[in-house]
Structure formats: C-alpha cells, structure tokens
Amino acid sequence: MAIPLWPFGWKMHGRRGLRMWTLSLIARGPKNGAEIVDAIEEMTQGWWRPSPGSIYPLLADLQREGLLQKRDDGRYELDPKVREEFEWLPGVGRSRPRGIPEMLSDMDGFVSYFEDLRSSDASKLQPHHESIEKLGRRLLALAEGGESA
C-alpha cells in the first residue's frame, strides 16, 4: 500500500524534509532504516531514495534528541511524549481508526486513490480486480442488510 506524501510535498526532500518524513513514518508504526528508505522511495514513486548515509545518522540524531527509542528488534518508535505531538496530524499519530465514521472516511480515501489510479495507470489495479470486486460485494451486502458475499 502506498503511503501518502507528507503535506508539504516534494520540497521536503532535503535534510529537514528527511527528518519530518522519518518522524511521520515512524509515527505510523515502528520501522528500521531500510523500511524508511523503501517507504520514502515508494511515496515519491521512485524519484527519491534517501541514502543509508543520510538515514542512519539521522536516526541516531533523533534518538540522541530523545525523539525516538530503538527497540530490541532494531526498529525505532516515537518516544511516548513525541507521539502525543503527532496526534494532531491526520492519519499520522494513530495506528487505526477509532470508530465507524473514521473507518468510513479512511475507506473513502482509499476508494478515491483507486479511482485516481484507474485514471492514471489502470494496469496497477488489474492484478487486484478480483479482490476489489469481492470487497465491493461484501460492502453492498452490508449496505443492504444481507449476508456477506
């Protein structure tokens, strides 16, 4: 699943941008350096892949500053106090929706993404056609009050 770009877009791609992207990615869930590099490359659709020479020193700096904690599995997570600061950013500070309205809003966003993808590069959706149809049938059954398909 592609992760949306940080709200400030392509301008975030210097040292300061890497810092914010790294914090926002880790706010979504614990990650190691390689996972962060891969996620940024995916978010930028291949336009930017931070080098290990920038990501690992940055992770060490963020840990030294008390913003991150390194787990036993090698992944980094936000310090609990820092996590609270990220709560105000939509979709960043939470790991899952908190209720049905929020779930529906998230689902609406995913459907919009798929619609945009269909317009720009339908070939990426084609391998998932059957899964999308199955989800559609299940949602329709829920809306009609019947059993899942």
pLDDT at 9: 44
pLDDT at 3: 43
Closest CA to 18 of 63, 57, 45, 70: 57
Q: Which pair of structure tokens corresponds to residue 112?
A: 């919009």
CATH label, 9-86, candidates 3.20.20.70, 3.30.540.10, 3.40.50.300, 1.10.10.10: 1.10.10.10
Task: Quote the CA–CA distance of 65 and 68 in Å, as a whole number.
Answer: 8
pLDDT at 121: 84
Task: Quote the CA–CA distance of 30 and 73 in Å, as a whole number.
Answer: 10
pLDDT at 37: 94
Determine phi and psi for 78, rounding to 5 degrees: -70, 145
In this prediction the pTM is 0.52
pLDDT at 87: 65
**What residue spans define the domains of the chain?**
9-86, 100-144
DSSP label of 14: S
Spell out the per-residue pLDDT of the chain, length 149, in tens.
444 444 444 444 445 589 988 998 999 899 999 999 999 999 888 888 999 999 999 999 999 999 999 999 999 999 988 887 766 555 554 555 568 888 888 888 888 888 888 888 888 889 999 999 999 999 999 999 866 55
